[in-house]
A and B are shown apart, each in its own frame.
Chain A
Amino acid sequence: MTAAEGAEVAVASQPAARPTAQVRQAPTDLTLSFVDEATVRKVAAAAADPDWLLADRLAGLRGFEALPIESNRLYTPYVDLRNAHLSAVRPYPAGPTGGARGGAAAAAAGVGRLPEGAAAYAEFAEDRLTALVLSPEAREAGVVLETLASLAARDPGLLRSLLEGGCTLPENDKLGQMTRALWTHGLHLHVPDGVRLERPIVLRWAMGAPNGALLSRTIISIGDDAEASVVEEQVGSVSTAGASGPTNSAAIEPQSFFAGTTEVKLGAGSTLSFAGLQDFAANQVAFQHRSAVVGRGSTVRWALAQLGCRVIRSRIDNTLEGDGSSVEQAEIVFGSTDQLFDLTSYTRHIGRDTTGNLLSKGALSDRSRVYMKGLATIDLSAHGTDSYLGEFAMLLSKQARSVAIPSLEIDQPDCRRVAHASSVGPVDETQLFYLESRGLDPDEARKFIVLGYLEPVVARVPLAAAQDRLRDLLEAKWAARTGAAAHAAAGQPAAAVA
Chain B
Amino acid sequence: MATSREIVSSEYKFGFHDDVDYLEQTAAGLTRGTVEAISRFKGEPQWMLDFRLHAYEHYLSRPMPRWGGDLGQIDFDKIVYYRKPSEGEEKSWDDVPDKIKKTFERLGIPEAERKFLAGVGAQYDSEVVYHSVREELSKIGVVFMGTDQGLKEYPDLFRKYFATVVPPEDNKFAALNSAVWSGGSFVYVPKGVEVPLPLQAYFRINAENTGQFERTLIIVDEGAKVHYIEGCTAPIYTTDALHAAVVEVIALPGSKVRYTTIQNWSNDVYNLVTKRAHAHAHATVEWIDANTGSRLTMKYPSIYLRGEGATAEVISVAVAGRGQHQDTGAKAIHLAPNTRSRIISKSISKDGGRTTYRGQLKVVPGATGVVASVRCDALLLDEGSRSDTYPYIDIQEDDTTMTHEATVGKISQDQVFYLMSRGLTENEATNLVVQGFLEVFTKELPMEYAIEFNRLVKLEMEGSLG
- Please report A residues at the B interface, Cβ cutoff 8 Å: 1-7, 10, 73-74, 380, 391, 393, 395-415, 417-426
A-B contact pairs, 13 of them (CB 8 A): A1-B299, A398-B365, A402-B393, A406-B389, A406-B406, A408-B388, A408-B406, A408-B408, A410-B380, A415-B410, A418-B409, A421-B405, A422-B393
CA distance A406 to B403 in the complex (A): 12
Interchain CB contact under 8 A, A7 and B383 = no
CA distance A5 to B272 in the complex (A): 15
Which of B170, B362, B380, B403 sits near A7, CB closer than 8 Å? B362
Q: Which residue of B lies closest to A409 (CB)?
A: B388
- Would you list the 3 A-B pairs with minimal beta carbon distance, nearest first? A413-B380, A395-B398, A422-B404
In the assembled complex, which residues on chain A have CB atoms less than 8 Å from the CB atom of B398?
Answer: 395-398, 400, 426
Q: Is B386 an interface residue (CB 8 A)?
A: yes
Interchain CB contact under 8 A, B399 and A423 = no
Q: How far is the CB of A166 from chain B (nearest CB, A)?
A: 28
In the assembled complex, which residues on chain B have CB atoms less than 8 Å from the CB atom of A415?
Answer: 408-410
Q: Is B333 an interface residue (CB 8 A)?
A: yes
Question: Contacts A408-B388, A410-B380, A415-B409: A403 and B394 contacting too (C-beta < 8 A)?
Answer: yes
Interchain CB contact under 8 A, A1 and B383 = no
CA distance A421 to B380 in the complex (A): 19
In the assembled complex, which residues on chain A have CB atoms less than 8 Å from the CB atom of B273?
Answer: 1
Q: How far is the CB of A359 from chain B (nearest CB, A)?
A: 14
Interchain CB contact under 8 A, A413 and B407 = no
List residues 30-50 of chain B with CB under 8 A from any CB of chain A: none
Interchain CB contact under 8 A, B385 and A413 = yes
- Please report B residues at the A interface, Cβ cutoff 8 Å: 65-67, 170-174, 272-274, 298-300, 329, 331, 333, 358-360, 362, 365, 378, 380-410
Which of A1, A396, A420, A425 sits near B402, CB closer than 8 Å? A425
Interchain CB contact under 8 A, A413 and B409 = yes
Q: Which residue of A lies closest to B394 (CB)?
A: A403
**In the complex, given contacts A408-B408, A423-B404, A426-B401, what are 9 additional A-B residue pairs having Cβ atoms less than 8 angstroms apart?**
A1-B273, A3-B359, A5-B170, A6-B360, A6-B362, A74-B67, A395-B399, A413-B383, A419-B406
Q: Which residue of A lies closest to B246 (CB)?
A: A1
Interchain CB contact under 8 A, A407 and B388 = yes
Interchain CB contact under 8 A, B170 and A73 = no
Question: Contacts A401-B394, A424-B393: A4 and B404 contacting too (C-beta < 8 A)?
Answer: no
Which of A4, A393, A396 sits near B392, CB closer than 8 Å? A4
Query: Residue among A404, A407, A410, A419 with the most chain B CB within 10 A?
Result: A410
CA distance A327 to B378 in the complex (A): 24
CA distance A411 to B382 in the complex (A): 9
CA distance A399 to B396 in the complex (A): 7
In the assembled complex, which residues on chain A have CB atoms less than 8 Å from the CB atom of B174?
Answer: 1
CA distance A407 to B172 in the complex (A): 25
In the assembled complex, which residues on chain B have CB atoms less than 8 Å from the CB atom of A393?
Answer: 395
In the assembled complex, which residues on chain A have CB atoms less than 8 Å from the CB atom of B333?
Answer: 6
Q: How far is the CB of A18 from chain B (nearest CB, A)?
A: 24
Q: Which residue of A lies closest to B273 (CB)?
A: A1
Interchain CB contact under 8 A, A421 and B391 = no
Interchain CB contact under 8 A, A398 and B397 = yes
Interchain CB contact under 8 A, A420 and B274 = no
Interchain CB contact under 8 A, A10 and B402 = no
Q: How far is the CB of A335 from chain B (nearest CB, A)?
A: 13
In the assembled complex, which residues on chain A have CB atoms less than 8 Å from the CB atom of B409?
Answer: 413, 415, 417-418
Question: Contacts A421-B404, A421-B405: A404 and B360 contacting too (C-beta < 8 A)?
Answer: no
Which of A1, A402, A411, A421 sits near B395, CB closer than 8 Å? A402
Interchain CB contact under 8 A, B404 and A406 = yes
In the assembled complex, which residues on chain A have CB atoms less than 8 Å from the CB atom of B173?
Answer: 1
CA distance A2 to B362 in the complex (A): 14
Which of B382, B396, B407 sits near A418, CB closer than 8 Å? B407
Query: Residue among A391, A396, A409, A424 with the most chain B CB within 10 A?
Result: A424
Q: How far is the CB of A428 from chain B (nearest CB, A)?
A: 10
CA distance A3 to B300 in the complex (A): 7
Interchain CB contact under 8 A, A408 and B389 = yes
Interchain CB contact under 8 A, A425 and B385 = no
Q: Which residue of A lies closest to B356 (CB)?
A: A409
Query: Residue among A411, A413, A420 with the most chain B CB within 10 A?
Result: A413
In the assembled complex, which residues on chain A have CB atoms less than 8 Å from the CB atom of B298?
Answer: 1
CA distance A6 to B383 in the complex (A): 35
CA distance A393 to B363 in the complex (A): 14
Q: Which residue of B lies closest to A423 (CB)?
A: B403
Interchain CB contact under 8 A, B408 and A405 = no
Q: Which residue of A lies closest to B408 (CB)?
A: A418
In the assembled complex, which residues on chain A have CB atoms less than 8 Å from the CB atom of B397?
Answer: 395, 398
Question: Contacts A7-B392, A419-B407: A409 and B400 contacting too (C-beta < 8 A)?
Answer: no
Question: Contacts A5-B171, A398-B398, A420-B406: A407 and B390 contacting too (C-beta < 8 A)?
Answer: yes
Q: How far is the CB of B102 from chain A (nearest CB, A)?
A: 35
Interchain CB contact under 8 A, B329 and A1 = no
Interchain CB contact under 8 A, A10 and B396 = yes
CA distance A410 to B376 in the complex (A): 14
In the assembled complex, which residues on chain B have CB atoms less than 8 Å from the CB atom of A407?
Answer: 388-391
